[in-house]
Structure 1
Amino acid sequence: MNDDETSVGIGRPPANPRQRWIKLLWVGIWLAFMSAPVKDLTDGGHTPWATAFGTLGLLTFVGAYLLLVLSRTPMDGDDRSAHAWIAFLGALAVLLTLTLGTPWLVLFVYVAVSVGATLPLRTAGWLIPAVTAALVGLGLTADHPREIITALVFPALLGGFSMTGVRQLIRTTIELREARATVAQLAANEERLRLARDLHDLLGHSLSLITLKSELAGRMLPGHPEQAAAQVADIEKVSRQALVDVRSAVTGYRRPTLPGELAGARTALAAAGITADVPAEAPDGIPQEPEEVLAWALREAVTNVVRHSGARRCTVALTPRQTLDGRVLELSVADDGVGPSGTKPGNGLTGIGERLAAVDGTLITTAGGPGPGSGQGKGYTLTLSVPLGSALGSTE
């Protein structure tokens, strides 16, 4: 079964019946504190009419409480319907307490929790103390045991204000998710705009020139075929150059970059629940071809960690080094997962080796990963190096 079918993400409404039941279960756990009214009804200390009234009132209160908490979302505003529901719960709590006695004072705790869970902070800030004050006032007026009143004041205040904190946390999470989606959409729009602008700059002049020369060749064709042929040759030359420019531009869009792959590695590892130690930036001045090889290798290595390693931690390092053969940039990807599954390299490692061979790079794989306890046979480390010449400054 897919985890998405059962898990209810913070700030997300249930998407199917199973998620609704899971959310109902989490909310229903807190109904355990209703044991006092239930015990009061089952002890037989009331008349049959009072017991029937109490049972009906308790079921109504619980149903209204669940309906209110489950139907409201953290993004809902301070509307009249929520106030009406809470007023109904408060009135029912007062009526049941006055009719049936001390055990029913616990209903005010649920009223306070409902306020914190459904109303904005500016309203809940004064309404939760008001509900608690009603609990205390009703308890003292009816001469209920003061130790019970004192025991209920703290849960009412703590439960109510805790729910306001949870509600604010969920609102912040929803807003952050929406902001991230907006940023992604803006980035996609900006990339489309950049692509359109680049294609216009590349093709606008060439296509205009082709159009003009085509019209000129058409006018020359009847009387000056030699000049028309020259114009056609120019058209062919311009169109070929335009094709080269377009291919070069598309290749540039498709070419992976090391900063982009580092950012992608952080996102992929975090999404997989793997603690990631990834550099924030790549060294400046890396030649295009070695950078592309390292970017492809990093993507493949992180994909293998996410899919196959079962790791809990992954460390990526980029280290410029000076060797006897010249300057190199070393990339290492180490995890604390299950280690290599066999002696024969897979297609991914084979592809990395072929790309490295094209730039005279090297590839070393070793058992063992980052952190203590990642000894022989546990974890996996992939180390690549590509020559840089004098592209980067000296290291220590």
Structure 2
Amino acid sequence: MKEEDETSVGIGSPPGNRKQAGIKSLWIGVWLAFMSAPIKDLADGAHTAWATALGILGLVVFVGCYLLLVFRPSPRMLSPVQVRIVLAFLSALAVTLSLTLGSAWLVLFVYVSVCAGAALPLRTARWLIPAAAAVLIGIGLAGDHPREIITALVFPALLGGFSMTGIRQMILTTIQLREARATVAQLAANEERLRLARDLHDLLGHSLSLITLKSELAGRMLPANPEQAAAQVADIERVSRQALVDVRSAVTGYRRPTLPGELAGARTALAAAGITADIPAEPPEYLPEKQEEVLAWALREAVTNVVRHSGARSCTVTLVPRQTLDGRVLELTVADDGRGASGTTPGNGLTGIAERLDAVGGTLTSRATNSRSGKGFTLALGVPLESGLGSRE
């Protein structure tokens, strides 16, 4: 899995290491194969020594400008003005080399069209790409170049340019979605901090104020009225103990796992491990709090086992309410296609899950996902639902 993480480059993400940069360079470099026509033209020796030298220099500069526009890790690497300057220079170089060195150099307009689609906004690229194709046709016809060469290059110029506009829009959309996701996560964290601050203020504000007032009162009563001061100190102890209980209850509530949170965490953990995940978006509504907590802990443990020990390629999580002879139950199933169970004795994780299920009258079963080959591991848990709960599929 680690090797895949090191080599894969996500859409809209810059290469994170040399290996990823090499892969991206390879994908871009494949399309430089169309430069074989100008290279062959220079190698044939049909031009003078000065023309050949200038042609080589022009081709190197052209390829450098092309890579500068296409290889950019982020659309923000160059400013819009810089992009237009480089593209204008690239177009001028293509016109000059095509007019002076012959029909083999008309292929440069295909790269101009691709750069326009890759580097410019759609509203600009949608007219500049046909313009590049039109210039290609104009130079080809004016120079009496073979019609088949012109026809063979017009379609790649249009197709390559407009294909790159689609890829560029997809990359920009992916970047925007990633930024939006980070913003939503930050807002959620800020909201949670505000909620915690509100709850702590509500829990401790009154208690601490009362402790302060009683402490001042006890101080004024000493040493003249020690018995009344002692009563105030006893009240302070009682209030402080109650405040401590309230704070512990609040912190326990914040630490309690929830099924929606564990479903989202499972989706993230499996994706990070390179395991294809099929996970429901939301649990059934009206799930009792205690049953939800048990299922959340069980899901966390089951997914951890899949990630660490299974060697699986895919994992499926289902949450289905079922009617049994003992009443309605909510069944959680975690199934993978990995190597299966490694022994007959359950580990600490499964033992802990079983103990939590016993506390709510739940059930736990495990089996091979594929009964014929014995491969894979399926964990099925059921927790009872109170009457009228979990009725929504």
Pairwise TM-score range, normalised by the shorter structure: over 0.9
Shift of 1:351: 1.6
- Partners of 1:27 and 1:217 lie apart in 2 by 80
Aligned to 1:340, the other structure's residue is in SS state coil
Shift of 1:167: 0.8
Q: Which residue of the partner structure matches residue 142 of structure 1?
A: 143
Q: Which residue of the partner structure matches residue 232 of structure 2?
A: 231
Asked if 1:173 is matched to 2:170, the reply is: no
Q: Is the 8 A contact 1:78 1:120 kept in 2?
A: no
Q: Which residue of the partner structure matches residue 305 of structure 2?
A: 304
AA partner of residue 246 (structure 1)? V
Asked if 1:382 is matched to 2:379, the reply is: yes
CA distances 1:156-200 after superposition (whole Å, capped 9, x unpaired) = 111111111111110111110000000000000000110010000
Change (3 A) 1:66 1:349: same
Shift of 1:76: 6.0
- Partners of 2:276 and 2:135 lie apart in 1 by 49
Aligned to 1:44, the other structure's residue is in SS state coil
> TM-score, length-normalised on structure 2?
0.92
Identical counterparts, % of pairs: 77
AA partner of residue 385 (structure 1)? G
- Partners of 1:168 and 1:72 lie apart in 2 by 15
Matched ranges for 1:306-345 at <5 A: 306-345=307-346
AA partner of residue 332 (structure 1)? T
Q: Is the 8 A contact 2:69 2:118 kept in 1?
A: no
Change (3 A) 1:367 1:150: same
Shift of 1:376: 4.3
Q: Is the 8 A contact 2:284 2:390 kept in 1?
A: no
Segments of 5+ residues of structure 2 without an aligned counterpart are: none
Q: Which moved more, 1:290-299 or 1:351-360?
A: 351-360
Q: Which residue of the partner structure matches residue 53 of structure 1?
A: 54
Segments of 5+ residues of structure 1 without an aligned counterpart are: none
CA distances 1:110-152 after superposition (whole Å, capped 9, x unpaired) = 1111111111111111111111110000000000011110110
Q: Which moved more, 1:229-238 or 1:1-10?
A: 1-10
Shift of 1:327: 4.3
Change (3 A) 1:240 1:340: same
> TM-score, length-normalised on structure 1?
0.92
Q: Which moved more, 1:195-204 or 1:25-34?
A: 25-34
Change (3 A) 1:308 1:89: same
Q: Which residue of the partner structure matches residue 129 of structure 2?
A: 128
Aligned to 1:90, the other structure's residue is in SS state helix
Q: Which moved more, 1:294-303 or 1:85-94?
A: 85-94
Shift of 1:280: 3.1
Q: Is the 8 A contact 1:321 1:395 kept in 2?
A: no
Q: Is the 8 A contact 2:285 2:390 kept in 1?
A: no
How many pairs does the alignment contain? Answer: 392
Q: Is the 8 A contact 1:286 1:391 kept in 2?
A: no
AA partner of residue 382 (structure 2)? S
Matched ranges for 1:1-396 at <5 A: 3-71=4-72, 73-75=74-76, 79-368=80-369, 375-390=372-387, 392=389
Q: Is the 8 A contact 2:284 2:392 kept in 1?
A: no
- Partners of 1:286 and 1:91 lie apart in 2 by 68
Q: Is the 8 A contact 1:69 1:117 kept in 2?
A: yes
CA distances 1:197-250 after superposition (whole Å, capped 9, x unpaired) = 000000000000111111111111222211111111111111110000000000
- Partners of 2:241 and 2:97 lie apart in 1 by 88
Change (3 A) 1:45 1:305: same
Q: Which moved more, 1:149-158 or 1:71-80?
A: 71-80
AA partner of residue 199 (structure 1)? L
Q: Which moved more, 1:336-345 or 1:64-73?
A: 64-73
AA partner of residue 329 (structure 1)? L
Q: Give me the CA root mean square deviation.
A: 2.3
- Partners of 1:10 and 1:318 lie apart in 2 by 32
Aligned to 1:382, the other structure's residue is in SS state strand
- Partners of 2:392 and 2:36 lie apart in 1 by 70
- Partners of 1:222 and 1:315 lie apart in 2 by 72
Q: Is the 8 A contact 2:94 2:109 kept in 1?
A: yes
- Partners of 2:208 and 2:286 lie apart in 1 by 35
- Partners of 2:206 and 2:99 lie apart in 1 by 87
Q: Is the 8 A contact 1:331 1:384 kept in 2?
A: yes
Q: Which moved more, 1:295-304 or 1:342-351?
A: 342-351
Q: Which moved more, 1:377-386 or 1:103-112?
A: 377-386
Shift of 1:279: 3.0
Change (3 A) 1:26 1:183: same
Change (3 A) 1:74 1:190: same
- Partners of 2:262 and 2:194 lie apart in 1 by 22
Aligned to 2:71, the other structure's residue is in SS state helix
Q: Is the 8 A contact 1:77 1:120 kept in 2?
A: no
AA partner of residue 387 (structure 1)? P
- Partners of 1:57 and 1:198 lie apart in 2 by 69
